[in-house]
Protein backbone atom coordinates (compact mmCIF):
# COMPACT_ATOMS: atom_id res chain seq x y z
CA UNK A 1 0.00 0.00 0.00
CA UNK A 2 2.73 2.48 1.01
CA UNK A 3 5.32 1.22 -1.48
CA UNK A 4 3.11 2.05 -4.48
CA UNK A 5 2.01 5.46 -3.22
CA UNK A 6 3.31 8.70 -4.69
CA UNK A 7 5.15 11.27 -2.58
CA UNK A 8 2.18 13.55 -2.99
CA UNK A 9 -0.21 10.93 -1.61
CA UNK A 10 2.06 10.35 1.36
CA UNK A 11 2.67 13.96 2.29
CA UNK A 12 -0.69 15.64 1.57
CA UNK A 13 -2.81 16.35 4.61
CA UNK A 14 -6.42 15.23 4.21
CA UNK A 15 -7.58 18.25 6.20
CA UNK A 16 -6.07 21.31 7.83
CA UNK A 17 -5.57 19.67 11.22
CA UNK A 18 -5.32 16.07 10.02
CA UNK A 19 -2.09 14.12 9.77
CA UNK A 20 -0.79 13.08 6.36
CA UNK A 21 0.07 9.40 5.83
CA UNK A 22 3.74 10.28 6.36
CA UNK A 23 2.94 11.95 9.68
CA UNK A 24 0.90 8.92 10.78
CA UNK A 25 3.86 6.65 9.96
CA UNK A 26 6.19 8.90 11.98
CA UNK A 27 3.70 8.73 14.87
CA UNK A 28 3.58 4.91 14.70
CA UNK A 29 7.38 4.77 14.76
CA UNK A 30 7.74 7.16 17.70
CA UNK A 31 4.94 5.52 19.67
CA UNK A 32 6.89 2.30 19.29
CA UNK A 33 9.94 4.03 20.82
CA UNK A 34 7.94 4.89 23.95
CA UNK A 35 6.43 1.41 24.09
CA UNK A 36 9.84 -0.28 23.74
CA UNK A 37 10.97 1.41 26.92
CA UNK A 38 7.70 0.73 28.73
CA UNK A 39 7.66 -3.04 28.13
CA UNK A 40 11.19 -3.35 29.40
CA UNK A 41 10.73 -1.14 32.44
CA UNK A 42 7.47 -2.83 33.43
CA UNK A 43 9.18 -6.24 33.41
CA UNK A 44 12.19 -4.93 35.30
CA UNK A 45 10.34 -2.72 37.83
CA UNK A 46 6.76 -3.95 37.97
CA UNK A 47 4.40 -1.39 39.54
CA UNK A 48 6.41 1.58 38.29
CA UNK A 49 4.75 4.90 37.48
CA UNK A 50 4.75 5.84 33.82
CA UNK A 51 4.30 9.39 32.54
CA UNK A 52 1.97 9.95 29.62
CA UNK A 53 3.16 11.73 26.51
CA UNK A 54 1.63 14.38 24.32
CA UNK A 55 1.62 12.93 20.81
CA UNK A 56 0.92 16.33 19.21
CA UNK A 57 3.89 17.86 20.99
CA UNK A 58 6.08 14.97 19.80
CA UNK A 59 4.77 15.51 16.26
CA UNK A 60 5.59 19.24 16.36
CA UNK A 61 9.00 18.90 18.00
CA UNK A 62 9.88 15.95 15.78
CA UNK A 63 8.62 17.82 12.67
CA UNK A 64 6.79 14.70 11.46
CA UNK A 65 5.80 16.49 8.24
CA UNK A 66 9.44 16.61 7.15
CA UNK A 67 10.10 12.90 7.77
CA UNK A 68 10.67 10.54 4.85
CA UNK A 69 7.60 8.24 5.00
CA UNK A 70 9.49 5.12 3.92
CA UNK A 71 12.12 5.73 6.60
CA UNK A 72 9.41 6.07 9.26
CA UNK A 73 7.88 2.80 8.11
CA UNK A 74 11.29 1.09 8.20
CA UNK A 75 11.92 2.48 11.70
CA UNK A 76 8.51 1.27 12.88
CA UNK A 77 9.15 -2.22 11.48
CA UNK A 78 12.54 -2.48 13.05
CA UNK A 79 11.36 -1.29 16.49
CA UNK A 80 8.32 -3.54 16.32
CA UNK A 81 10.54 -6.53 15.52
CA UNK A 82 12.74 -5.75 18.51
CA UNK A 83 9.65 -5.49 20.73
CA UNK A 84 8.22 -8.76 19.45
CA UNK A 85 11.54 -10.46 20.10
CA UNK A 86 11.49 -9.11 23.65
CA UNK A 87 7.90 -10.29 24.21
CA UNK A 88 8.70 -13.75 22.83
CA UNK A 89 11.29 -14.21 25.54
CA UNK A 90 9.38 -13.16 28.65
CA UNK A 91 7.68 -15.63 31.00
CA UNK A 92 3.89 -15.89 31.56
CA UNK A 93 4.37 -14.07 34.91
CA UNK A 94 6.25 -11.27 33.20
CA UNK A 95 3.31 -10.74 30.82
CA UNK A 96 1.38 -9.75 33.96
CA UNK A 97 3.95 -7.19 35.12
CA UNK A 98 2.39 -3.75 35.12
CA UNK A 99 2.92 -0.03 35.28
CA UNK A 100 0.72 2.75 36.62
CA UNK A 101 0.05 5.01 33.68
CA UNK A 102 -0.51 8.66 34.59
CA UNK A 103 -3.73 8.84 32.53
CA UNK A 104 -4.87 5.25 32.02
CA UNK A 105 -4.02 3.78 35.41
CA UNK A 106 -2.82 0.20 35.92
CA UNK A 107 -1.80 -1.54 32.71
CA UNK A 108 -0.02 -4.89 32.28
CA UNK A 109 2.50 -5.80 29.60
CA UNK A 110 -0.22 -7.97 28.04
CA UNK A 111 -2.76 -5.14 28.01
CA UNK A 112 -0.26 -2.74 26.51
CA UNK A 113 0.55 -5.24 23.73
CA UNK A 114 -3.18 -5.64 22.98
CA UNK A 115 -3.61 -1.86 23.04
CA UNK A 116 -0.74 -1.42 20.56
CA UNK A 117 -2.25 -3.98 18.16
CA UNK A 118 -5.55 -2.05 18.23
CA UNK A 119 -3.69 1.24 17.80
CA UNK A 120 -2.00 -0.13 14.64
CA UNK A 121 -5.33 -1.32 13.26
CA UNK A 122 -6.94 2.10 13.80
CA UNK A 123 -4.13 3.94 12.06
CA UNK A 124 -4.02 1.44 9.17
CA UNK A 125 -7.75 2.05 8.67
CA UNK A 126 -7.09 5.80 8.82
CA UNK A 127 -4.40 5.41 6.09
CA UNK A 128 -6.81 3.36 3.95
CA UNK A 129 -9.43 6.12 4.26
CA UNK A 130 -6.90 8.74 3.10
CA UNK A 131 -6.02 6.59 0.06
CA UNK A 132 -9.72 6.30 -0.81
CA UNK A 133 -10.27 10.06 -0.68
CA UNK A 134 -10.81 11.54 -4.12
CA UNK A 135 -8.59 14.25 -5.51
CA UNK A 136 -11.10 15.67 -7.97
CA UNK A 137 -9.24 18.38 -9.87
CA UNK A 138 -6.19 16.37 -10.92
CA UNK A 139 -7.96 13.08 -11.57
CA UNK A 140 -10.70 14.65 -13.67
CA UNK A 141 -8.26 16.75 -15.69
CA UNK A 142 -6.16 13.73 -16.48
CA UNK A 143 -9.21 11.73 -17.52
CA UNK A 144 -10.52 14.48 -19.80
CA UNK A 145 -7.17 15.18 -21.39
CA UNK A 146 -6.95 11.50 -22.33
CA UNK A 147 -10.50 11.37 -23.71
CA UNK A 148 -10.19 14.59 -25.73
CA UNK A 149 -6.76 13.61 -26.98
CA UNK A 150 -8.13 10.32 -28.33
CA UNK A 151 -11.21 11.72 -30.02
CA UNK A 152 -9.14 14.47 -31.67
CA UNK A 153 -6.73 11.88 -33.03
CA UNK A 154 -8.74 8.97 -34.42
CA UNK A 155 -5.70 7.22 -35.80
CA UNK A 156 -4.06 7.23 -32.42
CA UNK A 157 -7.14 5.83 -30.74
CA UNK A 158 -7.18 2.95 -33.26
CA UNK A 159 -3.60 2.09 -32.63
CA UNK A 160 -3.76 2.35 -28.87
CA UNK A 161 -4.62 -0.82 -27.00
NI1 LIG B 1 -2.20 7.09 17.51
CA of 28 to the centre of ligand 1 (A): 7
CA of 119 to the centre of ligand 1 (A): 6
pLDDT 10s digits, 28-58: 999 999 999 999 999 999 999 999 999 999 9
Spell out the domains of the chain, with CATH numbers in brackets. Answer: 7-134 (1.20.120.450)
pLDDT 10s digits, 102-128: 999 999 999 999 999 999 999 999 999
Q: For residue 159, is pLDDT > 80?
A: no
- Residue-wise burial string across 92-101, b where 16 or more C-beta atoms lie within 10 A, e elsewhere: eebeebbbeb
CA of 26 to the centre of ligand 1 (A): 10
* pLDDT for res 23: 98
| Sign of the C-alpha dihedral computed for residues 32, 35, 41 and 43 taken in this order | negative
Amino acid sequence: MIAKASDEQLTTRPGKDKWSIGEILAHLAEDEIATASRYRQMVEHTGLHMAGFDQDMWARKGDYGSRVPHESLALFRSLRNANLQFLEHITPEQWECFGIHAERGRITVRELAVHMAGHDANHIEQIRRIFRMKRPSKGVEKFFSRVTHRSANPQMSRSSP
